[in-house]
Amino acid sequence: MLFDPEKDVANSEAYIRDNIEATETLIVAMISENVPYLVYLGDTYANLEVEENYGLSEDNFSGIPKTFLTGEYGETKIRGEIFARKSVGRKLANGDEILKAVFPRSTFVYGEGDAKMMETFLAVCQRHQGCIPFFEGSSRGMFQYIYAGNLAGYLECCMNTLMFEPERCNGDYFYCMEDTKATKINEFFAPMLEAAGHSFVPAAGSWYLTFLSTFIYEFKEKIFGKTFKTIGKEFSRCALRFLFAYGYGFSNRKQQLTMDYRPEFTQSDGIKRTARWISANFGGEQKIVETRCNIKVLDKLSEIRYDENVLRMG
């Protein structure tokens, strides 16, 4: 996931500048400087509509939807991608070559160095006495994930394939994941949050009431210019909906056919590596905290287990 989960940071001008104008500037520069190859990292969730999304292929999400699950971020992100896709085949300034590009769309990215999401999680923990409330439901918050190290491997493979076998991928876009199983976000991130001495707990209130109150508080902030503490504190209404309301799962068939790369790290290894980094930067090897739900969390990274309560997409 690439969009910013904090409500005070996200703004239309920044998204337009970073996702649309920057892409247009890059394409113009590549053509004028005769740079023929582009690997454009997109976002699987950018052009999803506000609803459950399971089992559909990339061809179902080629353009602009009626609504955007991730709001202004998603709209600007997909518009930037479409501009780049339409630029494929344009002649470079030298007149001898054309622009070639491939468009991997990453699922939920995790890994060492991703401080932004952890800082947001910890801010929510501070308001809820060491816990992050999550909303129970059969498919709420189901995601597919990719470890940053595996994503880097896919991007390198994309570049090599584009340079030496462009017929396999030029102009194509595909979902990029390390495993087809979709797992609840609270279960997936539990070992990583525990490494910082915190945990997920079921929310006391209903999803609909929480979302409504967040919407009202954000509306008040826009009108009165004040900061109101919402139930999720640092989560924007868009992030709250994205992270906890729906489930998302896609096939990796096109990825497997387009790229020869197979993930170097298993998902279990990626989780353990990330948990160790979080422990070193946000927690401490032996940190124990007493949470609101009276569960003692002891960080023993060698004992981290990953329970697969998952939905697997074929």
Fold adopted by 12-312: Rossmann fold (3.40.50)
- Residue where the block lists tokens 């009431």: 209
Number of Cβ within 10 Å of residue 289's Cβ equals 19
What mean pLDDT is predicted for residues 274-303?
Answer: 55
Give pLDDT, residue 15.
86
* Lowest mean per-residue pLDDT among 73-82, 175-184, 219-228, 281-290: 281-290
Q: Of 312, 269, 4, give the one whose Cα is nearest residue 147.
A: 269
Q: Encode pLDDT of 298-309 as tens digits.
A: 333 434 343 444
Q: How confident is the model at residue 131 (pLDDT cuts 50, 70, 90)?
A: confident
Has residue 232 got a pLDDT over 50?
A: no
Has residue 171 got a pLDDT over 60?
A: yes
Give pLDDT, residue 220.
60
Q: Kindly report the three-state secondary structure assignment for every residue of the chain.
A: CCCCCECCCCCHHHHHHHHHHHHHHHHHHHHHCCCCEEECCEECCCCCCCCCEECCCHHHHCCCCCCCCCHHHHHHHHHHHHHHHHHCCCECCCCCCECEEEEEEECEEECCCCHHHHHHHHHHHHHCCCEEEECCCCCCCEECEEEHHHHHHHHHHHHHHHHHCHHHCCCCEEEECCCCEEEEHHHHCHHHHHCCCCEEEECCCCHHHHHHHHHHHHHHHHHHCCCCCCCCCCECHHHHHHHHCCEEECCCHHHHHHCCCCCCCCHHHHHHHHHHHHHHHHHCCCCEEECCCCCEEECCHHHCCCCCCEEECC
Comparison of pLDDT for 172 and 234, the residue scoring more: 172
Return left, alpha or beta for 40; rule: phi > 0 is left, psi -120 to 50 is alpha, else beta: beta
* Lowest mean per-residue pLDDT among 176-190, 218-232, 270-284: 218-232
Q: How confident is the model at residue 250 (pLDDT cuts 50, 70, 90)?
A: very high
In percent, the amount of the chain with pLDDT more than 90 equals 54
Q: Encode pLDDT of 77-127 as tens digits.
A: 999 999 999 999 999 999 999 999 999 999 999 999 877 778 888 888 877
Q: Encode pLDDT of 174-209 as tens digits.
A: 999 999 999 999 999 999 999 999 998 877 666 556
Has residue 260 got a pLDDT over 90?
A: yes
pTM summary value:
0.81
Average pLDDT, the chain: 82
Domain range summary for the chain, segments of one domain joined by + = 12-312
Produce one character per residue of 52-83: b if its CB has 16 or more CB atoms within 10 Å, e if not.
ebeeeebeebeeebeebbbbbbbbbbbbbbbb
Q: How many residues does the chain have?
A: 314
Rounded Cα gap, residues 183 and 187, in angstroms: 7
* Lowest mean per-residue pLDDT among 28-42, 244-258, 287-301: 287-301
Give me the amino acid identity at 279: S
